[in-house]
Amino acid sequence: MSETSLDGRVAVVTGAGAGLGRAEALAVARAGARVVLNDLPGAADETLDELTSLGAEAAIAAGDIGEASTASLIVETALQKFGSLDIVVNNAGVTRDRMLFNMSDDEFDLVVRIHLRGHFLLSRNAAAHWKRVAKETGQPVDASVINTASEAFLTGSPGQANYAAAKAGITALTLSTARGLSRIGVRANAICPRARTAMTAAVFGPDDSGSGIDPYSADHVAPLVAYLASPAARRISGQVFVVYGGMVALMAAPVVEQRFDTEGDLWSTEELDRTLGGFFVDRDPGTSFAADSILSL
């Protein structure tokens, strides 16, 4: 059996009713996985029909991913229906784009709740299951978590303070998951996809590339998810990838640009102005922590 095969494995995909989640569910199913689909009630019915028409085994665990009961239902469905849980693809999300000064409490809370809390709840429940299995068997599991971040957290999208903050949190959650669960055989990675979906239609607009396949098609993203879920990717964990249009870019960790040390026991504001402030005198004021170079990919 190929190392990229998912035969015998059970995957859960959130937000599987359309767009990126649908493409990811189809990709892991085509690779051989049995799939639990999550979305709001009724939203994943067509995806289920597509998977079953391919001969794949699939089930739906419907519900709001921001609710703890939904995360419990997803894991229970995987175990009761298919007897295992090996792959978690956290994808579900919403947007409520607005400039910071116009953003309401509810708009911020909703986006963070669905994205970050949703990722946390399902990852937490899956992690608890894998820990029990590792303890019972005395062997590490072979499990994979694929989270959905965004370049918004790298660039600080000005009209998406809620979304950018949630995606930054998801990246930190991914790293913590990778480090915290590595001993029991779980790997975790995050993808930053550029995909034209209902959620991002206003961002990318219509396809005018003239290419045979839309560069922003979710079909460019789904193969990476299926690969990261497979045994072939067992050495890949704690990584962040930007993916779209036939390209995968591995992001590097931030580096220290400059260190400043006080000459005395404690900093004074005058010394900070002389050393720290002096560094910025001739530095381009547009240069910040934002990783704007990724926009040229």
Q: Which of 276, 296, 280 is nearest to 288 (CA)?
A: 280
Q: Has 167 been annotated as catalytic?
A: yes
Q: What is the DSSP string of 104-156?
A: -HHHHHHHHIIIIIHHHHHHHHHHHHHHHHHHHHSS---EEEEEE--THHHHT
As a whole number of angstroms, the distance between CA 203 and CA 297 comes to 17
Catalytic residue (one of 163, 216, 227, 244): 163
Catalytic residue (one of 123, 144, 157, 167): 167
CA 269 to chain centre: 41
Q: Has 216 been annotated as catalytic?
A: no
Catalytic residue (one of 150, 157, 217, 230): 150
As a whole number of angstroms, the distance between CA 151 and CA 43 comes to 27
Angle in degrees, CA 1, 77, 239, rounded to 5: 55
Active-site residue numbers? Answer: 150, 163, 167
